[in-house]
Amino acid sequence: MNSPRMSAIPLDGLTPAQREVYDRIASGPRGKIGAPHWAWLRSPAMAAKAEDFGRFCRFETSVDPRLIEIAILATAAHWQAAVEWDLHEKEALAMGVDAATIEAIRRRGKPRFGSGAERAVYLFTRELLEDRRTGQSAYSGLVESIGEQGAVELVGILGYYALISMTIVAFEIPSPIRDDDSFADLRTNDRAHGRIDSRRR
């Protein structure tokens, strides 16, 4: 397993401000400090605000948790953020999302979903991430499925998990679940087709 660019800070090395945020996260719904939090703790004010927003996005929105997991997986696949993928693949499987559907999301393909709401969330998410805009069809389908409040909250969820993904990628945070890279085969394929600069890792 590779080492992260920013490692966990020893508990006795935390500043009072860092310790306050650490304790808040550890005593919250997550019950522990996640991988991105160790990087964020370098800026405790940012970590505190990101944690507050993240708690809302994960646990307090009107969006169904299964739809949230699909959106998170699509975001992780877009960024090829292995930590985020590995953690939420488990969550999605536990919620009954089919393994073949999850694999199609990983490959940024065309999954077969069990409900129209799942399809609408995935289509909207993919268009927003890949095209940096969404067509009227994807937008209307999303609002019909989860309402305007849900649509606004979904965009917030995507923004939060994009922040997590960028943190994972920027600071090379390794997965706590598996030693190999969940996206290694896709990275190799991207390089073969010239979609990634061969000078980059």
Residue type, 53: F
Distance CA 121, CA 142 (A): 6
For the chain, the structural domain boundaries read 63-192
Distance CA 196, CA 185 (A): 13
pLDDT of residue 198: 39
Which residue shows structure tokens 């994009």?
162
- pLDDT: is 58 or 35 the higher one? 58
Lowest mean pLDDT segment, chosen from 11-25, 48-62, 111-125, 180-194: 180-194
pLDDT of residue 7: 79
pLDDT of residue 87: 92
The answer on pLDDT for 154 being more than 50 is yes
The architecture of the domain spanning 63-192 is Up-down Bundle (1.20)
**43-93 residue pLDDT tens:** 999 999 999 999 999 999 999 999 999 999 999 999 999 999 999 999 999
Q: Which helix (H) or strand (E) holds 59?
A: none
Distance CA 146, CA 116 (A): 10
pLDDT of residue 188: 67
Name residues whose C-beta falls within 8 Å of residue 64's C-beta, 6 or more positions apart in sequence: 117, 146
Phi, psi angles (nearest 5°) of residue 43? -125, 85
